[in-house]
Amino acid sequence: MSKKRLVLSLGHKDLGTNLPEQKAAVAKTAPIIADFVEEGWQVAVTHSNAPQVGMIHGALSEFAAHHEGYTPSPLSVCSAMSQGYIGYDLQNGLRSELLSRGIYKCVSTIMTEVTVDPYDEAFYQPLKTIGRFMTKEEAEAEDAKGNHTVEIPGKGYQRIVPAPNPVAIVEIDAIKALLDADQVVICCGGGGVPVLEQGTTLRGASAVIEKDLTSGLLAREVDADVLLILTAVDNVTLNFGTPAEEAISEMSIDDAKAYMEAGQFEFKSMLPKVKAAVDFVSAGKNRAAIITSLAKAGQALRGKAGTRIS
């Protein structure tokens, strides 16, 4: 009997926003992923990168400003760097967790590029926040460099960049080959490095793709049984942040579409997760998408927690 396939998307909370937080987060995340491997799932892991890509871009721009001969790095290169260092921590954390349980299984990170449409409207309207919160003065200095910032009420200012839709995962055959070989693969980090196809060349795009949308695309491409999106909350809720807030445990595709149309989900946070879930579940049979927290992940996979879209 063929094994069941899981695409697991890790959010900020289970990854951290800086190096020390990332180390601590991976120590909590790796045992849960190892549980799934031990239970017989074939696992592909994807992850966030907005804090990290902003940090890398800022650090390299700062370095270039003070050292002759260096130039700021394009956002696409910073995205690739974020995949590398997050993948490095995740693959080592998971490898040792599996080994400590007597399981030898290769865990590797695939540097993943994802094509985007050069005419995607998102390029004309940057909306994705990246990096740390800044003061007004720091934000003005960013704007003066040609970057864009936005005020996040109560938190400060953040850079914003375009978030085009993922079109195709360039390294999908490598990802499928590793899953077929029953190996754990970390891929499509930060939604994948956004690239534009120009003849036989792939050119990096100055953007950051929503990782949940790419996770949904990946889940469709590898014909996963379950797309599990781990985030900061146990359940998706209706009337989020109001006294009438209500946790959802099950949603049909039609329910989810109706809630999306009614504006129930925040554009920058919950909407891409629900959209990814709907697109994945509608594209095949006997599929489920689950949105929940790391703490509830195991129970959610057994149908006992989280928000399930099926």
Ligand X SMILES: Nc1ncnc2c1ncn2[C@@H]1O[C@H](COP(=O)(O)OP(=O)(O)O)[C@@H](O)[C@H]1O
Ligand Y SMILES: NC(=O)OP(=O)(O)O
Q: Which of 5, 13, 57, 211 binds ligand Y (CB under 6 A)?
A: 211
Site for ligand Y contains 90 (CB under 6 A): no
Site for ligand Y contains 73 (CB under 6 A): no
Q: Which of 240, 257, 283, 295 binds ligand X (CB under 6 A)?
A: 240
Burial string for 87-117 (b: 16+ CB within 10 Å, else e) reads: bebbbebbbebbeeeeeeeebebbbbbbbbe
Residues 204-233 that bind ligand X (CB under 6 A): 231-233
Q: What are the percentages of helix, strand and coil residues in the chain, rounded to 5?
A: 40, 25, 35
Write the binding mask 117 to 156 for ligand X: x where contact by CB under 6 A, - elsewhere: ----------------------------------------
d(CA 280, CA 221): 9
Residue closer to ligand Y (CB basis): 12 or 159: 12
How many amino acids of this chain bind ligand Y (CB under 6 A)?
Answer: 11
Identify the burial level of 31 via C-beta atoms within 10 angstroms of its C-beta, where 0-12 means exposed, 13-18 middle and 19 or more buried.
middle
Identify the burial level of 64 via C-beta atoms within 10 angstroms of its C-beta, where 0-12 means exposed, 13-18 middle and 19 or more buried.
middle
What does 231 bind: ligand Y, ligand X, none (CB cut-off 5 to 8 Å by kind)?
A: ligand X
What does 256 bind: ligand Y, ligand X, none (CB cut-off 5 to 8 Å by kind)?
A: none
What does 190 bind: ligand Y, ligand X, none (CB cut-off 5 to 8 Å by kind)?
A: ligand Y
| Nearest distance from C-beta of residue 211 to ligand Y, angstroms | 4
What does 208 bind: ligand X, ligand Y, none (CB cut-off 5 to 8 Å by kind)?
A: ligand Y
Contact 30, 93 (CB under 8 A): yes
What does 237 bind: ligand X, ligand Y, none (CB cut-off 5 to 8 Å by kind)?
A: ligand X
Site for ligand X contains 175 (CB under 6 A): no
User: Residue 160 half-sphere exposure, CB side, CA atoms within 13 Å?
Assistant: 15
Site for ligand Y contains 57 (CB under 6 A): no
Quickly tell me which residue has 């864009």 as its tokens. 148
d(CA 79, CA 87): 12
- The amino acid at residue 268 is K
Residues 180-199 that bind ligand Y (CB under 6 A): 190-191
Of the chain, the end-to-end C-alpha distance in Å amounts to 23
Provide the binding-site residues for ligand X, judged by CB under 6 A.
11-13, 48, 231-233, 236-237, 240, 264-266, 269-270
